[in-house]
Amino acid sequence: MALRSVFDGGALRTEFESAGISPHFVPLIWKYVLHNPGCELSDVPSLPSAAYPLLSSKFRPLTSFLSSALDSNDRLTTKLLIRLQNGNSVEAVIMRYDTRQGKYDGKPRSGGPRSTLCVSSQVGCKMGCKFCATGTMGFKNNLSSGEIVEQLVHASHITHIRNVVFMGMGEPLNNYAALVEAIQIMTGFPFQLSPKKITVSTVGIIHAINKLPIDLPTVNLAVSLHAPDQDIRCQIMPAARAFPLGKLMDALQTYQKNTQQKVFVEYIMLDGVNDHEQHAHQLGKLLVTFKVVVNLIPFNPIGNSSCFRTSSEENVRTFQKVLRGVYNIRTTIRQEMGQDISGACGQLVVNLAEQRSAGGASILKDIEDLHI
């Protein structure tokens, strides 16, 4: 039987409680492993004597290892390939920003350099979105909470991580229990990330969205809408058939009522599919009663097999102008970075042969820093 990650918090606490060991020691173990990733669990100091044989027989400090870290030419983006103990791999992406660049409401922005980590929640994905490379892998398996947290551990040894976005491989809400536990660990000692600096992205798993106000009330929610009506949504996102747009919007309305939080809406711009001015008006009418921030995402080609093209800059700007000017909806355009390492929205796919060659990529504007 494979040993579990020490960052599988629920399993570790259960084992400790069964052995009469206080769960108070769990965060102390995490702190030691975080700062000493090559350690053995027998190296962790000041634990009860009964803890050491339990840890060595059932847990490992880390169950994954960093196989490679590819930097973009501008050094602002790093794509991590992380090998799991079952032989599968996932990708995570570090994105570096300087919040002092640009303006907000015509005024200079405060802040400074910081890094965001885009993490994966599954190996592959069941959703099959036609514009997303991860969907071409099919679904392999869910990650444990420990395997999710270990992505943060690996990244933390490269740079200090301030924000985490669940926008990597997989549909986070299809791995709900592990997602919730991983975020609870990330926001506790020793990581201590602010829940407001964590964003969970979903295609719209309605029953899971309904549980978020109870389990993760202050974490940001981003919805991959990508179309203003059900027909177009089903054409480009087959899983949308299970989550009708009307019911999804009802769930988001309830979510906002319960959390009093804005929702981030992700909208990929596909030439001739969903990027016309009429689509902007449809989207505006759909969202006008919501508290939202719309993020327009230039499509990132996925090899030579894609049937989609990137919208023209003129179409993207017109789309933004309609949403802002007619419907007073805050609308951003996703910042493009790191085009040489294929670390983009929709481009994460584990293919070791392709990773030896260059690819196209773009990276999101850090939505946790939007003033909302």
Catalytic position from the list 118, 125, 129, 345: 345
- The answer to whether 171 is a known catalytic residue is no
Residue for token pair 């978020």? 212
Determine the Cα–Cα distance for residues 38 and 61; give it in Å rounded to an integer.
8
**What is d(CA 59, CA 41) in angstroms, rounded to the nearest whole number?**
8
Dist. CA 216–CA 319, nearest whole Å: 32
Catalytically annotated residue among 15, 91, 147, 368: 91
Look up tokens 């994905």; give the residue.
125
Q: Spell out a b/e string for 328-356, using b for 16 or more CB atoms within 10 Å of the CB, else e.
A: ebebbbbbbbbbebbbbbbbbbbeeeebe
Q: Coil, strand, or helix at residue 363?
A: coil
Residue 345 annotated in active site: yes
Q: Where are the alpha helices (DSSP H) in the chain?
A: 9-18, 26-35, 51-58, 145-156, 176-186, 206-209, 212-215, 230-236, 245-259, 277-287, 313-325
Q: Cite the active site residues.
A: 91, 345
